[in-house]
Structure 1
Amino acid sequence: MSVPGCKAELLFAIQNEFDRLSIEIALIPATNVFDKSLDGHVKDSKMNVHNLISYLVGWNELVLKWHAKKGVGESVDFPDTGFNWNQLGLLAEKFYKDYEGIPLADLVVRLCSAKNRIVELVEDEDDLRLYGQAWYKQYTMGKMIQLNTSSPYSNAAKRLRRWRKSHQL
């Protein structure tokens, strides 16, 4: 899929990639949710399906946090307070811990809810605000949303598909 360059393309990408991800999640047997055999977000580490969904929830909720803070004129610590862009593996591990006690079904509901709130956020913006000006450094708001929604949804769906095939699930 090409990189979105306008509101309509961004909304399509978010929904399309989320739908593909949802299909892959639905195909994971409950008995394999905590099988720590997916490549992790830290070099040479392993994670499980629950960790992967936690990662997606974490990033989606960060997008919402960024927008909420910017909306009231507060400064935003990108990517998150206490983390630099060169510490994304550590941030991923934080997400795993943040959501570890939540059952997978509830975590998927939380992911869907966060995605829906991001869609509402995008729907409330116009192309100029989404793609016509820098929002964070050189990145537009639309690009920052895409980098933390449709792109990771696509990546996660591909990881899950490969993982299921390699485990004959």
Structure 2
Amino acid sequence: MTIPTSQAELRDAIVTEFARLDADLDRVPPASARESVLPGHAKGTTMSPADLVAYLVGWGEQVLTWQERRAAGLPDEFPAAGHSWGDLGSLAQQFYREHEDESWEHLRARLTDAKDRILALVDTRSDTELYGSPWYRTWTMGRMISLNTSSPYRNARARIRRWLRTL
């Protein structure tokens, strides 16, 4: 899928990549959801399918936090409070920990909710708001959203599919 450059393309990318990922997550045996069987987001670590979903939930909710902070006139915290772009492995580990007690079903429901809330946000923005000017450094709002939704959905799907082939 190409990089979205309009509201319609961004919406389509999120919907399409999420649907593909969701179908593959349906194939994960719930009894295996907490087994550390996937390469982790930090070098030399492993994670479970549930950790992978927690990571996606974390980033989806972070996108929403960025928007909420901006709307409230609060300063930006990129990528997240207490983290730098050079330390995303520790942020991934934080997302795993924050969701470690949640069931597979609850994690998946939170992922769907975050996706739906992001789509609602996208629906309220024009092409100009999403892609007309830099929103964070050189990145437009639309690009920042896609970097944290459709792109990681696609990456997560590849990880899950690779593992599912070993079952």
Q: The TM-score by the shorter chain falls in which range?
A: over 0.9
- 1:129 paired with 2:125, answer no
Aligned 1:1-169 pairs, distance under 5 A: 1-166=1-166, 168=167
1:159 Cα shift? 0.5
1:70 Cα shift? 0.4
Whole-Å separation in 2 of the counterparts to 1:119 and 1:43: 32
Whole-Å separation in 2 of the counterparts to 1:69 and 1:85: 18
The percentage of aligned residue pairs carrying the same residue is: 43
Amino acid at match of 2:162: R
Question: RMSD of the alignment, in Å?
Answer: 0.6
Whole-Å separation in 1 of the counterparts to 2:126 and 2:16: 20
Whole-Å separation in 2 of the counterparts to 1:77 and 1:13: 26
* Residue deviations 1:17-45 (CA, integer Å, cap 9, x gap): 00001001000011211121100001011
SS at match of 1:135: strand
1:76 Cα shift? 1.3
Whole-Å separation in 1 of the counterparts to 2:113 and 2:156: 18
Amino acid at match of 1:53: V
Whole-Å separation in 1 of the counterparts to 2:60 and 2:136: 16
The normalised TM-score by structure 2 is 0.99
Following TM superposition, the consecutive aligned residue runs of length 4 or more in structure 1 with deviations greater than 4 angstroms are none
SS at match of 2:165: helix
The normalised TM-score by structure 1 is 0.97
1:121 Cα shift? 0.3
Whole-Å separation in 1 of the counterparts to 2:113 and 2:33: 21
SS at match of 1:42: coil
Whole-Å separation in 2 of the counterparts to 1:139 and 1:54: 25
SS at match of 2:5: coil
Amino acid at match of 2:156: A
| Unaligned 5+ runs, structure 1 | none
* Residue deviations 1:137-169 (CA, integer Å, cap 9, x gap): 100000000000000000001110001002x2x
Amino acid at match of 2:103: P
| Unaligned 5+ runs, structure 2 | none
Amino acid at match of 1:144: M
Whole-Å separation in 2 of the counterparts to 1:3 and 1:146: 8
